[in-house]
């Protein structure tokens, strides 16, 4: 069974109604990155940051995986699939994907403010527990913070992701600008025999000295075309 690795970004979940950060009208226009997505912003105003992620979790309860998510899960019948996502939502898992690596953390998980990457302190919230309050504590006694990799923080899962990309027979990039590092650098770890597909309705400029199969469609239509192409 061929190893197929998917690198998904905000465009993967946009069709489900998840607000993107970078597009016009996106979340970064409403909230400065520095305020809600950096350790410094959290230290300055933990209440604002906690509220921001509560709102993201609340929104997540009202959206469903789209056809693109569901088709990727279905493709596990034909391929050994690993999804590496820059998204913090759980839509890949809810659609049925069995192996998902979250580069930037997970919205429905919280952790210690003191040791955010210590597995002993990471806990998953049930859907009805989406609201975290100031005063809710991790097991080490520190305030619970979102299990999100903020700007300026290390990306612990990147080495695991590199390992999967190096062994991939097929790499599929869906809905990402390829501007955010280290995720954007994953393409450079593919072997020469790896076939690369890029699914995005917009033109994406990729610096790569290799052929890339472009499918200029949204996630749902694009994954459908991809599967038909691969079944050939």
Active-site amino acid positions = 104
Neighbours of 72 (CB within 10 A): 28
SS3 147: strand
DSSP annotation of 52 reads H
DSSP annotation of 124 reads E
Distance, in Å, from the CA atom of 223 to the CA atom of 95, rounded to the nearest integer, reads 14
Contacts with 176 (C-beta within 8 Å, 6 or more apart), sequence order: 7, 8, 9, 10, 11, 12, 86, 183, 184, 200, 204
DSSP annotation of 207 reads -
Contacts with 37 (C-beta within 8 Å, 6 or more apart), sequence order: 148, 150, 151
Contacts with 20 (C-beta within 8 Å, 6 or more apart), sequence order: 10, 11, 14, 26, 27
Contacts with 22 (C-beta within 8 Å, 6 or more apart), sequence order: 10, 28, 177
Are 148 and 37 within 8 A, CB to CB?
yes
């Amino acid at each position: 069974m061929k190893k197929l690795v998917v690198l998904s970004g905000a465009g993967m979940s946009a069709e489900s109604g998840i607000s993107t950060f970078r597009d016009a009208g996106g979340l970064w226009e409403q909230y400065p990155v520095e305020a809600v997505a950096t350790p410094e912003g959290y230290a300055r105003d933990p209440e604002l940051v906690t509220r921001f992620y509560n709102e993201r979790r609340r929104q997540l309860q009202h959206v469903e995986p789209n056809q693109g998510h569901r088709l990727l899960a279905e493709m596990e019948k034909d391929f050994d699939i690993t999804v590496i996502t820059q998204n913090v939502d759980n839509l890949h898992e809810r659609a049925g994907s069995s192996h998902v690596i979250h580069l930037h953390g997970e919205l429905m998980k919280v952790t210690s403010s003191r040791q955010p990457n210590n597995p002993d302190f990471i806990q998953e919230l049930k859907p009805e527990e989406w609201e975290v309050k100031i005063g809710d504590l991790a097991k080490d006694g520190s305030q619970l913070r979102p299990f999100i990799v903020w700007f300026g923080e290390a990306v612990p899962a990147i080495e695991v992701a590199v390992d999967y990309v190096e062994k991939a027979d097929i790499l599929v990039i869906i809905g990402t600008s390829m501007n955010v590092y280290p995720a954007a650098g994953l393409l450079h770890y593919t072997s020469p025999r790896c076939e690369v597909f890029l699914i995005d309705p917009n033109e994406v400029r990729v610096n790569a000295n290799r052929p890339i199969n472009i499918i200029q469609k949204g996630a749902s239509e694009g994954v459908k075309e991809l599967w038909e192409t691969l079944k050939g």
